[in-house]
Structure 1
Amino acid sequence: MADISYRERLAQLVEPGEQVLAVAKTEIAQGVLPSDPPQQEQAVATGTGGVSGVLLNLLSPLVSFPAGDRIVDRLTHGVAGRGAPGSAASTLQHARRPVPPATTLTDTILAVTDQRLLVCASGPVKLWSSQADDARALADTRVVWSTPRATVADARVGWHRLNPKRLRIEFVDGSWLAFTVPIAEPGTPLREIASALSGR
């Protein structure tokens, strides 16, 4: 998969007069995430599974119990976000969660403009892509979630376990969500997002 530059495409997606300040290709960090928005929570199976559910989660990733998933995520990856159902972090992470069964890969792109924080999804991307594949992924990029800059309380990049490049975005409703890039990729785009949001 080639490195696709999304800045030009995002300039086409924003409102007239809105200026793109920073762009980063990223992914929501692994770990325990905020609660689902209220309407999605009701659609999730309510079986807890108890201790046996946690053990089954560890033994087979195909067996899934919500309580077991959260415990395994907490132990292996920590906490990647917090927020009540319907909070900013809750709706953001739900907007980027693939709908099962996920049969394609897409990039998550964060963008900060002079007015909003945008979360975008690319078109389908391939591990081994041609220029035509990359052009399609870029052309199909769309905004899946946005919020005014005033709803962001803070943003900063720091260490989490062994990863020195984890962006944490905090919202004024008290919720927060973390984003990462692969260890081998530079953290500069995440630091630019944090700087554009926090003014530091």
Structure 2
Amino acid sequence: MMDILLQTIEKAVNVDQDEKELIARLFHEKKYAKGDYFLKESDVCRNVGFMISGVMRYYINDDGEEKTYGFAKESDFVCNNESFLPQQPSRQIIQALEDCTLLVIGYSDLQKFYTSIKSGERFGRLVIEQVFVKTLQGLNSFYTDSPDLRYEKFLKEYPDLLQRIPQYYIASYVGVKPQSLSRIRSRNTRRE
């Protein structure tokens, strides 16, 4: 498992053998059963996780209605940076949609990663930049793209999730009711 994380880190920055051993001590395995929460609303996000297996959903509870705004799958990092960075309560929720295995690192250990790994801070910056760009793209898409186009983007970004997660979560992510998603899927199938 640690090899997958190390390969991901090494795609972005170089790490020597001593640094690899330190990384292996800083991250530890954690399992979540389907339905378990990585982060509950009002809790402080204490960890960053690296997905080894499974799927997690990011959502908010908007006056009793769950609104999905993202998914994490194998080789993705999982975190609510809005809560994690300032160590403040979260409005977002992160929940396992399948049984999940993650490698997690706590806030203080991440600070050790940044200071003890030569390129640790650079790696952290690169990950945060990716999250920032993805967040802006999602926000822009929600305000400017039609539901049909948002569904097409979902298919391109998460082609392997279509059969792994319930359709009502996909509908929520696209910003429509499940019945509308059925019509979008039907139109999409006819075009193929």
Could you state the TM-score of these two structures normalised by the residue count of structure 1? 0.25
Could you state the TM-score of these two structures normalised by the residue count of structure 2? 0.25
Specify which structure has the higher proportion of helix: 2
